Structure 1
Amino acid sequence: MFKHILVPSDGSLASEAAIRSALQFAKETGARVTGMHVLPDFHALTYLPETLDGAPEVPDSTSRASQIVGRIAEAAARMGVPCETVLRRSDQPYVAIVSVAGELKCDMIAMASHGHRGIKGLLLGSETHKVLTHTNIPVLVFRA
Structure 2
Amino acid sequence: MYKRILVPTDGSEITGKAVQTAIELAAMSKAQLFAIGVKEPFPYSAISEMQPVPPQEFYDAQERIASGHVKAVVEAAKAAGVACTAHTVEALHPWEAIIDHAKAQSCDLIVMASHGRRGVAALLLGSETQKVLTHSTLPVLVVR
Normalised by the length of structure 2, the TM-score is 0.90
Q: Tell me which residue corresponds to 1:19.
A: 19
Unmatched 5+ stretches in structure 2: 50-54
Unmatched 5+ stretches in structure 1: 50-54
Q: Give the drift of 1:56.
A: 2.0
* AA of the residue aligned to 2:67: S
Matched residues, number: 139
Q: Give the drift of 1:40.
A: 0.7
Shift >6 Å, 4+ stretches = none
Percent pairwise identity: 41
* CA RMSD, Structure 1 to Structure 2 (Å): 1.7
Q: Tell me which residue corresponds to 1:125.
A: 126
Normalised by the length of structure 1, the TM-score is 0.90
Aligned equivalents of 2:91, 2:31: Cα separation in 1:
27
Aligned equivalents of 2:138, 2:48: Cα separation in 1:
44
1:94 is the counterpart of 2:100? no
**C-alpha spacing 1:3/1:56, structure 2 compared with 1 (3 Å):** same
**C-alpha spacing 1:57/1:88, structure 2 compared with 1 (3 Å):** farther
Q: Give the drift of 1:118.
A: 0.5
1:61 is the counterpart of 2:62? yes
Q: Give the drift of 1:43.
A: 2.0
